[in-house]
Amino acid sequence: MRAIHELSQQYGFKVVEDASHAIGGRYRDGAIGNCEYSDITVFSFHPVKIVTTAEGGMALTNNSALAEQMSLFRSHGITRDPLQMTRESEGPWYYEQIALGYNYRMTDLQAALGASQMQRLQEYVERRHEIAARYTQELEGLPLVLPKQAEFSYSAYHLYVIRLDLDAIIPLTHAEVFQSLRERDILVNLHYIPVHTQPYYQKMGFECGDFPNAEAYYKTAISIPMFPTLSSDAQDKVIAALHDVLAK
Protein backbone atom coordinates (compact mmCIF):
# COMPACT_ATOMS: atom_id res chain seq x y z
CA MET A 1 0.00 0.00 0.00
CA ARG A 2 2.82 2.41 0.77
CA ALA A 3 4.39 1.85 -2.64
CA ILE A 4 1.01 2.26 -4.37
CA HIS A 5 0.46 5.48 -2.44
CA GLU A 6 3.84 6.81 -3.55
CA LEU A 7 2.90 6.10 -7.16
CA SER A 8 -0.42 7.90 -6.68
CA GLN A 9 1.44 10.97 -5.50
CA GLN A 10 3.76 10.79 -8.50
CA TYR A 11 1.11 10.22 -11.17
CA GLY A 12 -1.97 11.85 -9.63
CA PHE A 13 -4.39 8.91 -9.42
CA LYS A 14 -6.71 8.10 -6.52
CA VAL A 15 -6.53 4.93 -4.42
CA VAL A 16 -9.52 2.91 -3.21
CA GLU A 17 -8.23 0.26 -0.79
CA ASP A 18 -10.17 -3.02 -0.76
CA ALA A 19 -9.76 -4.17 2.85
CA SER A 20 -12.78 -6.48 2.81
CA HIS A 21 -10.87 -9.25 4.60
CA ALA A 22 -8.63 -7.10 6.74
CA ILE A 23 -10.65 -5.49 9.52
CA GLY A 24 -8.69 -5.83 12.74
CA GLY A 25 -5.39 -6.07 10.88
CA ARG A 26 -2.48 -3.64 10.96
CA TYR A 27 -0.01 -2.35 8.40
CA ARG A 28 3.20 -0.48 9.22
CA ASP A 29 2.08 0.32 12.79
CA GLY A 30 -1.31 1.66 11.70
CA ALA A 31 -4.77 0.13 11.77
CA ILE A 32 -5.99 -0.96 8.37
CA GLY A 33 -8.72 1.49 7.49
CA ASN A 34 -6.90 4.61 8.64
CA CYS A 35 -6.53 5.67 4.97
CA GLU A 36 -2.90 6.66 5.46
CA TYR A 37 -2.10 5.21 2.04
CA SER A 38 -5.49 5.49 0.33
CA ASP A 39 -8.27 7.95 -0.36
CA ILE A 40 -11.00 5.49 0.63
CA THR A 41 -10.82 2.13 2.44
CA VAL A 42 -13.67 -0.34 1.97
CA PHE A 43 -14.68 -3.13 4.38
CA SER A 44 -17.18 -5.92 3.84
CA PHE A 45 -19.67 -7.09 6.48
CA HIS A 46 -20.86 -10.15 4.54
CA PRO A 47 -21.91 -13.06 6.83
CA VAL A 48 -18.60 -14.91 6.43
CA LYS A 49 -16.40 -11.88 7.18
CA ILE A 50 -14.66 -11.26 10.52
CA VAL A 51 -17.35 -8.75 11.54
CA THR A 52 -20.81 -9.01 10.01
CA THR A 53 -23.97 -6.96 9.77
CA ALA A 54 -25.62 -9.81 7.77
CA GLU A 55 -24.80 -7.90 4.56
CA GLY A 56 -23.32 -4.62 3.38
CA GLY A 57 -20.12 -2.91 4.34
CA MET A 58 -18.43 0.36 5.21
CA ALA A 59 -16.33 2.95 3.38
CA LEU A 60 -13.88 5.11 5.34
CA THR A 61 -12.06 8.28 4.32
CA ASN A 62 -10.15 11.17 5.85
CA ASN A 63 -11.39 13.50 3.10
CA SER A 64 -14.47 15.49 4.19
CA ALA A 65 -15.55 16.15 0.59
CA LEU A 66 -15.46 12.43 -0.22
CA ALA A 67 -17.35 11.68 3.01
CA GLU A 68 -20.10 14.12 2.02
CA GLN A 69 -20.30 12.64 -1.46
CA MET A 70 -20.56 9.07 -0.13
CA SER A 71 -23.22 10.19 2.35
CA LEU A 72 -25.26 11.56 -0.55
CA PHE A 73 -24.82 8.36 -2.58
CA ARG A 74 -26.02 6.35 0.43
CA SER A 75 -29.46 7.99 0.53
CA HIS A 76 -30.80 8.94 -2.90
CA GLY A 77 -28.61 12.04 -3.15
CA ILE A 78 -30.81 13.71 -0.53
CA THR A 79 -29.58 16.23 2.03
CA ARG A 80 -31.11 18.10 4.96
CA ASP A 81 -27.97 20.18 5.46
CA PRO A 82 -28.82 23.85 4.81
CA LEU A 83 -25.24 24.48 3.69
CA GLN A 84 -25.68 22.04 0.81
CA MET A 85 -29.14 23.23 -0.27
CA THR A 86 -29.70 25.50 -3.26
CA ARG A 87 -32.81 27.20 -1.81
CA GLU A 88 -33.93 28.42 1.59
CA SER A 89 -35.61 25.77 3.72
CA GLU A 90 -39.40 25.74 3.60
CA GLY A 91 -39.75 24.13 7.04
CA PRO A 92 -38.54 21.32 9.34
CA TRP A 93 -39.72 18.74 6.79
CA TYR A 94 -37.69 20.20 3.96
CA TYR A 95 -34.96 18.35 2.09
CA GLU A 96 -33.38 18.57 -1.32
CA GLN A 97 -32.15 15.97 -3.77
CA ILE A 98 -28.93 17.48 -5.08
CA ALA A 99 -27.44 14.35 -6.70
CA LEU A 100 -28.54 11.00 -8.12
CA GLY A 101 -27.89 8.52 -5.32
CA TYR A 102 -28.82 5.03 -4.16
CA ASN A 103 -30.59 3.36 -1.28
CA TYR A 104 -27.60 2.07 0.67
CA ARG A 105 -28.80 2.80 4.18
CA MET A 106 -28.07 0.16 6.79
CA THR A 107 -30.99 -0.92 8.96
CA ASP A 108 -30.94 -0.36 12.73
CA LEU A 109 -30.89 -4.13 13.31
CA GLN A 110 -27.88 -4.56 11.05
CA ALA A 111 -26.09 -1.67 12.74
CA ALA A 112 -26.77 -3.12 16.20
CA LEU A 113 -25.37 -6.49 15.14
CA GLY A 114 -22.25 -4.89 13.67
CA ALA A 115 -21.70 -2.62 16.67
CA SER A 116 -21.93 -5.58 19.06
CA GLN A 117 -19.45 -7.57 16.98
CA MET A 118 -17.01 -4.67 16.85
CA GLN A 119 -16.70 -4.93 20.64
CA ARG A 120 -15.23 -8.41 20.11
CA LEU A 121 -13.04 -7.65 17.10
CA GLN A 122 -9.73 -7.97 18.95
CA GLU A 123 -10.89 -11.23 20.52
CA TYR A 124 -11.87 -12.60 17.11
CA VAL A 125 -8.56 -11.70 15.48
CA GLU A 126 -6.46 -13.01 18.38
CA ARG A 127 -8.29 -16.35 18.19
CA ARG A 128 -7.66 -16.51 14.44
CA HIS A 129 -3.95 -16.00 15.13
CA GLU A 130 -3.99 -18.90 17.59
CA ILE A 131 -5.60 -21.15 14.99
CA ALA A 132 -3.18 -20.00 12.28
CA ALA A 133 -0.14 -20.61 14.52
CA ARG A 134 -1.30 -24.16 15.23
CA TYR A 135 -1.90 -24.87 11.55
CA THR A 136 1.55 -23.56 10.69
CA GLN A 137 3.17 -25.74 13.35
CA GLU A 138 1.24 -28.94 12.61
CA LEU A 139 1.36 -28.73 8.80
CA GLU A 140 5.07 -27.98 8.55
CA GLY A 141 6.85 -30.64 6.54
CA LEU A 142 3.91 -31.47 4.28
CA PRO A 143 4.21 -30.70 0.54
CA LEU A 144 2.55 -27.32 1.04
CA VAL A 145 3.33 -23.63 0.90
CA LEU A 146 1.89 -22.08 4.06
CA PRO A 147 0.88 -18.44 4.56
CA LYS A 148 3.69 -16.05 5.41
CA GLN A 149 3.31 -12.95 7.59
CA ALA A 150 5.28 -9.86 6.61
CA GLU A 151 7.19 -8.41 9.56
CA PHE A 152 5.64 -4.96 9.03
CA SER A 153 2.04 -6.20 9.13
CA TYR A 154 -0.43 -7.99 11.36
CA SER A 155 -2.92 -10.12 9.44
CA ALA A 156 -6.55 -10.43 10.48
CA TYR A 157 -6.40 -14.02 9.11
CA HIS A 158 -9.79 -13.93 7.48
CA LEU A 159 -8.55 -16.92 5.47
CA TYR A 160 -5.83 -19.53 5.91
CA VAL A 161 -4.84 -20.57 2.41
CA ILE A 162 -2.51 -23.49 1.75
CA ARG A 163 -0.88 -24.04 -1.63
CA LEU A 164 -0.11 -27.54 -2.85
CA ASP A 165 3.33 -28.50 -4.14
CA LEU A 166 1.87 -30.30 -7.15
CA ASP A 167 5.21 -31.79 -8.27
CA ALA A 168 5.66 -33.41 -4.86
CA ILE A 169 2.21 -35.05 -4.71
CA ILE A 170 2.07 -36.66 -8.18
CA PRO A 171 -0.16 -38.44 -9.17
CA LEU A 172 -2.58 -36.54 -6.89
CA THR A 173 -4.13 -33.48 -8.49
CA HIS A 174 -5.36 -30.25 -6.97
CA ALA A 175 -8.98 -31.28 -7.59
CA GLU A 176 -8.44 -34.72 -6.05
CA VAL A 177 -6.95 -33.27 -2.85
CA PHE A 178 -9.83 -30.80 -2.62
CA GLN A 179 -12.44 -33.52 -3.15
CA SER A 180 -10.75 -35.93 -0.72
CA LEU A 181 -10.95 -33.30 2.02
CA ARG A 182 -14.61 -32.61 1.23
CA GLU A 183 -15.34 -36.35 1.44
CA ARG A 184 -13.90 -36.26 4.96
CA ASP A 185 -16.39 -33.48 5.83
CA ILE A 186 -13.67 -30.83 5.80
CA LEU A 187 -15.42 -27.83 4.28
CA VAL A 188 -12.51 -26.49 2.27
CA ASN A 189 -13.03 -23.83 -0.38
CA LEU A 190 -11.04 -22.01 -3.06
CA HIS A 191 -10.59 -18.23 -2.80
CA TYR A 192 -10.70 -17.11 -5.61
CA ILE A 193 -11.04 -17.80 -9.33
CA PRO A 194 -8.97 -15.20 -11.22
CA VAL A 195 -11.27 -12.43 -12.44
CA HIS A 196 -9.76 -12.22 -15.93
CA THR A 197 -10.83 -15.82 -16.66
CA GLN A 198 -14.50 -15.01 -16.13
CA PRO A 199 -16.71 -14.75 -19.25
CA TYR A 200 -17.60 -11.11 -18.63
CA TYR A 201 -13.96 -10.04 -18.71
CA GLN A 202 -13.04 -12.37 -21.54
CA LYS A 203 -15.66 -10.63 -23.67
CA MET A 204 -13.70 -7.44 -22.94
CA GLY A 205 -10.56 -9.00 -24.40
CA PHE A 206 -8.81 -10.55 -21.41
CA GLU A 207 -7.42 -14.03 -22.02
CA CYS A 208 -6.11 -16.95 -20.00
CA GLY A 209 -2.38 -16.46 -19.68
CA ASP A 210 -2.58 -12.70 -19.21
CA PHE A 211 -1.84 -12.97 -15.48
CA PRO A 212 0.25 -16.14 -14.95
CA ASN A 213 0.89 -15.61 -11.22
CA ALA A 214 -2.85 -15.40 -10.46
CA GLU A 215 -3.45 -18.50 -12.56
CA ALA A 216 -0.62 -20.43 -10.86
CA TYR A 217 -2.07 -19.50 -7.48
CA TYR A 218 -5.53 -20.72 -8.54
CA LYS A 219 -4.15 -24.11 -9.62
CA THR A 220 -2.65 -24.81 -6.17
CA ALA A 221 -4.67 -22.93 -3.53
CA ILE A 222 -7.10 -24.39 -0.99
CA SER A 223 -8.67 -22.47 1.91
CA ILE A 224 -8.95 -24.64 5.01
CA PRO A 225 -11.37 -23.91 7.88
CA MET A 226 -10.63 -20.67 9.75
CA PHE A 227 -13.14 -19.06 12.11
CA PRO A 228 -12.98 -18.01 15.80
CA THR A 229 -15.26 -20.76 17.08
CA LEU A 230 -13.23 -23.53 15.43
CA SER A 231 -12.62 -26.00 18.26
CA SER A 232 -9.35 -27.79 18.91
CA ASP A 233 -11.00 -31.11 18.10
CA ALA A 234 -12.29 -29.78 14.79
CA GLN A 235 -8.88 -28.37 13.94
CA ASP A 236 -7.31 -31.72 14.82
CA LYS A 237 -9.64 -33.31 12.27
CA VAL A 238 -8.53 -30.87 9.56
CA ILE A 239 -4.84 -31.43 10.33
CA ALA A 240 -5.21 -35.23 10.41
CA ALA A 241 -7.12 -35.21 7.11
CA LEU A 242 -4.39 -33.23 5.39
CA HIS A 243 -1.70 -35.55 6.68
CA ASP A 244 -3.73 -38.59 5.56
CA VAL A 245 -4.56 -37.28 2.10
CA LEU A 246 -1.09 -35.96 1.30
CA ALA A 247 0.68 -39.03 2.70
CA LYS A 248 -0.96 -41.04 -0.06
**CA 113, 116, 122 angle in degrees (round to 5)?**
125
State yes or no: pLDDT of 115 exceeds 90: yes
For the annotated catalytic residues, the residue numbers are 49
Percentage of the chain modeled with pLDDT above 70:
100
Q: What is the mean pLDDT of the chain?
A: 96
Contact yes or no for 128/154 (Cβ under 8 A)? no
Fold held by 2-118? Aspartate Aminotransferase; domain 2 (3.40.640)
State yes or no: pLDDT of 247 exceeds 90: no
Mean pLDDT value across residues 182-201: 97
- Look at residues 52, 61, 33, 39 and name the one whose alpha carbon lies nearest to residue 106: 52
- Look at residues 190, 180, 191, 185 and name the one whose alpha carbon lies nearest to residue 243: 180
What are the pLDDT digits (tens) for 44-95?
Answer: 999 999 999 999 999 999 999 999 999 999 999 999 999 999 999 999 999 9
- CA 67 to CA 60: how far, in whole Å? 8
State yes or no: pLDDT of 248 exceeds 80: no
Q: How many CB atoms lie within 10 A of CB 174?
A: 17
Query: What CATH number does domain 121-247 carry, 3.90.1150.10, 3.30.70.20, 3.40.50.300, 3.40.50.620?
Result: 3.90.1150.10
Q: State residue 181's pLDDT score.
A: 98
Q: State residue 172's pLDDT score.
A: 95
Domain range annotation of the chain: 2-118, 121-247
State yes or no: pLDDT of 239 exceeds 80: yes
State yes or no: pLDDT of 224 exceeds 80: yes
Q: Which amino acid belongs to residue 194?
A: P
Mean pLDDT value across residues 24-51: 96
Q: Is there a common fold for 2-118 and 121-247?
A: no
Provide the β-strand partners of residue 42.
Answer: 18, 59
pTM of the full predicted structure? 0.90
DSSP letters, 155-191, are ---S-EEEEE-GGGSTT--HHHHHHHHHHTT---B--
